[in-house]
């Protein structure tokens, strides 16, 4: 019997190679004044030049702001102060997950013209936003966060007392997600690897989540199949293959949809304090912690419930898929999954945490901000400490 579930609203999804050429027409549906948010390098391409030409042909007035690194509350506040007087019709974010989060937050705060930090979860002092925003179009140029399909924008303030928190409302889901795999063809291997491991982590954590549903399971599994086919090729000899990039773009999109509906696990529960503590790519955090987090979770599940637990069966299914074998036994296939994740972390050269200045002395502070979120079993501080220790050297 299919269990009851809720499913959040999604953006209109336009997916396929070359679809970015439709962007000027889509902007025109909302008006003639647009703010385009990009990374400091993601827009430097032939596709961007064509987009610029399309804006001129369509009679669209555009302003452009670039983001370097991850968005801070101050970046959003400055953008709102600069562009609010222009009476914009629509905001477009063309870039990776950080750019999309920045554009998402700007589109929301243009309606309020107040400091965005006041509305961040667990940081702000004001009630949640009312959901009003400027129309927003997300155009991802990396395959990772799935922010083109989510309702939250993650903002960071880096430092010992820093944070990485969300501005969140159901209405903040982009109006349109325009996903063109051709925009990802020249993404560097290291960025592709980190982003791909982020998408993989989101898919797997949502698949085994305590809040998973039959619908999120179906979408997560289809994304995991795409990851299994194309993550390694996208970081190596298949980087220029449009179908490989389409697989990764699809997987990232699915990861955003399922995380918005099933939640995530302990890896993302650690990503917030780690990302607020030091400048480290979110995908690196996910990629470096994924294998030990899965190993500890599987161990605690098997000790508490035996091999019959539904999450263990799901882990086993993924292990068999990645190994290219038939399912041979739940715990055996779970071990194959951990081994495959460890090998993948090594093969993709995902850095350890100490590369970004972390040491064992930082563990207590990281534990203080860690969350289990929707992990299939609650982990204690010793479990989470073990996960961190394994990726500190």
Residues 252 and 127 in one domain: no
Q: Identify the pLDDT of residue 2.
A: 86
The answer to the question of residue 277 being in a domain is yes
Rounded to 10 degrees, what is the CA torsion of 323, 327, 332, 333? 50
Nearby residues of 283 by Cβ (< 8 Å), 6 or more positions away: 144, 145, 191, 193, 194, 195, 196, 197, 198
Range of the domain at 48: 12-184
| Confidence at 373, pLDDT banded by 50, 70, 90 | confident
The answer to the question of residue 366 being in a domain is yes
Residues 218 and 70 in one domain: no
Of the three residues 154, 184, 214, the one that is the final residue of a domain is: 184
Residue 40 is inside which H or E element, if any?
none
pLDDT (tens digit per residue) in 190-201: 999 999 999 999
Q: Identify the pLDDT of residue 329.
A: 86
H/E/C letters for each residue in 114-172? CCHHHHCCCCCCCCCCCCCCCCEEEEECCCCCCHHHCCEEEEEECCCCCEEEEEECHHH
CB of 100 closer than 8 Å to CB of 140 = yes
Residues 245 and 133 in one domain: no
Q: Is the torsion defined by CA of 293, 296, 300, 306 positive or negative?
A: positive
SS3 18: coil
Residues 53 and 91 in one domain: yes
pLDDT (tens digit per residue) in 174-188: 999 999 999 999 999
How many domains does the chain contain in total?
2
Give this prediction's pTM.
0.95
Residues 237 and 343 in one domain: yes
């Amino acid at each position: 019997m299919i269990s009851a579930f809720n499913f959040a609203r999604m953006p209109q999804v336009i997916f396929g190679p070359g679809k970015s050429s439709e962007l000027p027409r889509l902007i025109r549906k909302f008006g003639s004044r647009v703010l385009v948010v990009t990374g400091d390098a993601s827009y430097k391409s032939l596709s961007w030049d064509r987009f610029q030409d399309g804006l001129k042909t369509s009679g669209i007035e555009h302003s452009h702001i670039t983001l370097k690194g991850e968005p801070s509350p101050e970046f959003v506040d400055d953008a709102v102060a600069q562009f609010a007087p222009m009476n914009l019709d629509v905001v477009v974010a063309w870039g990776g997950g950080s750019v999309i989060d920045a554009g998402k937050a700007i589109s929301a705060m243009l309606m309020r013209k107040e400091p965005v930090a006041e509305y961040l979860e667990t940081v702000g002092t004001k009630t949640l936003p009312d959901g009003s925003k400027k129309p927003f179009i997300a155009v991802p140029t990396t395959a990772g966060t799935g922010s083109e399909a989510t309702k939250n924008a993650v903002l960071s303030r880096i430092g010992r007392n820093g944070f990485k928190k969300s501005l969140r409302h159901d209405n903040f889901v982009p109006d349109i997600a325009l996903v063109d795999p051709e925009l990802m063809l020249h993404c560097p291997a290291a960025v592709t690897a980190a982003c791909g491991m982020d998408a993989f982590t989101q898919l797997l954590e949502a698949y085994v989540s305590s809040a998973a549903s039959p619908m999120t399971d179906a979408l997560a599994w289809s994304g995991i199949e795409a990851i299994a086919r194309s993550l390694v090729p996208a970081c190596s000899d298949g980087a220029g293959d449009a179908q490989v990039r389409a697989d990764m773009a699809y997987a990232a999109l699915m990861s955003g949809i399922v995380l918005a509906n099933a939640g995530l696990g302990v890896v993302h529960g650690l990503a917030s304090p780690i990302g607020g503590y030091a400048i480290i790519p979110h995908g690196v955090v996910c990629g470096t912690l994924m294998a030990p987090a899965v190993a500890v979770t599987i161990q605690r599940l098997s000790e508490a419930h035996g091999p019959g637990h539904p999450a263990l069966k799901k882990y086993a299914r993924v292990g068999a898929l990645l190994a290219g074998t038939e399912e041979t036994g739940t715990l055996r296939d779970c071990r194959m999954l951990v081994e495959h994740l460890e090998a993948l972390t090594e093969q993709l050269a995902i850095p350890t945490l100490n590369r970004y200045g972390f040491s064992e002395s930082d563990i207590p502070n990281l534990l203080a901000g860690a969350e289990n979120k929707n992990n299939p079993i609650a982990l204690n501080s010793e479990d989470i400490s073990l996960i961190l220790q394994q990726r500190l050297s």
